[in-house]
Amino acid sequence: MDDHTSPARCGAARLLIGLLAALCLAVPVLAGPGETPEEKNEAAKAAKVAKKVEKALQKARKAAEEPVEADRRALREFHEEVMEYAELHAKQVATLGKPVAVDAQDTFAAQQALARSIQSKRDTAQQGDIFESAVEPIFRRLLAVELRGPDGLPARKAALEGNPGQEEDSLPIVVRVNGEYPIGTPRSTVPPSVLLTLPPLPECLRYQFVGRDLVLVDSVAGLIVDFLPAAAPDLAVK
């Protein structure tokens, strides 16, 4: 995932530059051997300033690093959550004893059985269980970068194709966790430029747009696993 510069990082960078300048100004006044009492006093003051600047530099470095580490931690947790779901999916497939092909059109009964089995194991699942609050801003930021402005026009057009929340003649999809996303119903095209920036998913899961919502779909069971409301910016083609 590309790191995009945040206001916090810009502020930390400016603070680092200012502190380094202060340190450069403070160091030349440090007195050497044979200094007068006044020079000793000035040297002591300069040493205190230098010490304070060093502490401030350390604090600024930490502030600049924290957003990056927080993003990494949030993405690790997201990965753990989707892999936990993939493990549940695999266990339910094994319990049924018959694999279901991805996007299978001729195994509706098997797909329904798998969906019911997974739903029963996730009967308390809620929105945000996988798209946790810590990872939400990362997804929103990545989608905004790829979909906004003139450069995002081709991606916006692609995201509108088959989007059940945008096409007038498409069947409505009720976006709710553990709700059905039936096989054969319209599916939005998630542009390759967007997919390349989003965290990868196990084979049974895929990202889709329903309107502006980013939906995590089990494409084998036809289930909505989680969703991020209004995650995408305005998709209107302008």
Beta-bridge partners for 228:
214
Whole-angstrom distance, CA of residue 64 vs CA of residue 169: 49
pLDDT of 229 reads 96
**Cα–Cα distance, 154 to 152 (Å, whole number):** 6
Q: Which ranges constitute the DSSP H helices of 27-36?
A: none
How many Cα atoms occupy the beta-carbon half-sphere of 120 within 13 Å? 8
Tokens of 100: 């279901």
Q: Where are the domains of the chain?
A: 7-67, 81-228
pLDDT at 69: 83
Nearest 5°: the CA angle 109, 215, 116 is 25
Predicted pLDDT at 32 = 53
For residue 155, with 0-12 CB atoms within 10 Å meaning exposed, 13-18 middle and 19 or more buried, which class applies? buried
Dihedral over Cα of 147, 150, 151, 156: its sign: positive
Distance separating alpha carbons of residues 14 and 7, to the nearest angstrom: 11
Q: How far is the C-alpha of 18 from the C-alpha of 45, rounded, in Å?
A: 19
Residues of the chain below pLDDT 50: 1-5, 7, 12-13, 15-17, 19-20, 22-31
Percent of the chain with pLDDT over 90: 44
Question: Half-sphere exposure of residue 54, counting CA atoms within 13 Å on the CB side?
Answer: 8
pLDDT at 2: 44
pLDDT in tens, 172-189: 788 999 999 877 777 887
In total, the chain counts a number of residues equal to 238
Q: Tell me what pLDDT residue 162 has.
A: 84
Look-up of token digits 């997804």: 139
Task: For residue 120, report the phi and psi dihedrals to the nearest 5 degrees.
Answer: -65, -30
Q: Which whole-number Å values give the CA distances from 200 to 31, 53, 67, 82, 195, in the listed order?
A: 58, 42, 21, 10, 8
The pLDDT score that the predictor gives to residue 35 is 66
Residue type, 20: L
Both tokens assigned to 109: 């009964």
pLDDT digits (tens, 9 = 90+) for 94-141: 988 766 655 555 567 888 889 999 999 999 999 999 999 999 999 999
On whether the pTM is more than 0.75, the answer is no
Report which of 189, 192, 117, 112 is spatially closest to residue 158, judged by C-alpha positions: 189
